[in-house]
Structure 1
């Protein structure tokens, strides 16, 4: 009877340790994923800001019809920058427990969509 109790105690203790190690590993993975997404979003935000400033300079020198197109592109970029800011806030504010593959996929999809539109506008400007 004592041997069985000791065996059960050791088994439960081992499972608890394995569970704690798994949770720690998951926590590290979540932090790495968050850091990667945050870095990607910050780089995209900075690129958009640089392009918006470039458009400001081009608007001053542009003739009337081209000026309107540049202003439209600039407004679009401001909207995309705001979307990136929102995703960045969501990434930093989401609790570890709420960080799921669905939230990661949604943020990545949003980031990729914004990057595509940013690249499209950047090509139009050149």
Structure 2
């Protein structure tokens, strides 16, 4: 039996009020959305009757990722370099681009998302094998 050695290099968690995202969108319009979310994330959320839980949980995931990567000494976070995709089985996962993709190329990033009527939360764990 082969032993696996893993090392956690970052953990982050975040919780946000869903109404905060809705308020920011009402106040700043699409400028807010396009600064934080990729076009795919925006399309996914806007296809729902209420897009704000989906947007808020993605915002929380990116905030949790910021916290996890800061522990790993990545300080140049660009919101659009990280996107949450949903696999066919409904499991969310990150898709990375550019500097963030290079920083995390030898890592596995786990993300857990949850939301209720008023709050969205996410936890991110980054590990290297």
TM-score of the superposed pair, with normalisation by structure 1: 0.29
Question: Would you tell me which structure has more helix in proportion to its own residues?
Answer: 1
Question: Which structure has the larger Rg over C-alpha atoms?
Answer: 1
Question: Would you tell me which structure has more strand in proportion to its own residues?
Answer: 2
TM-score of the superposed pair, with normalisation by structure 2: 0.28
Larger RCO of the pair (alpha carbons < 8 Å, separation 6+): 2
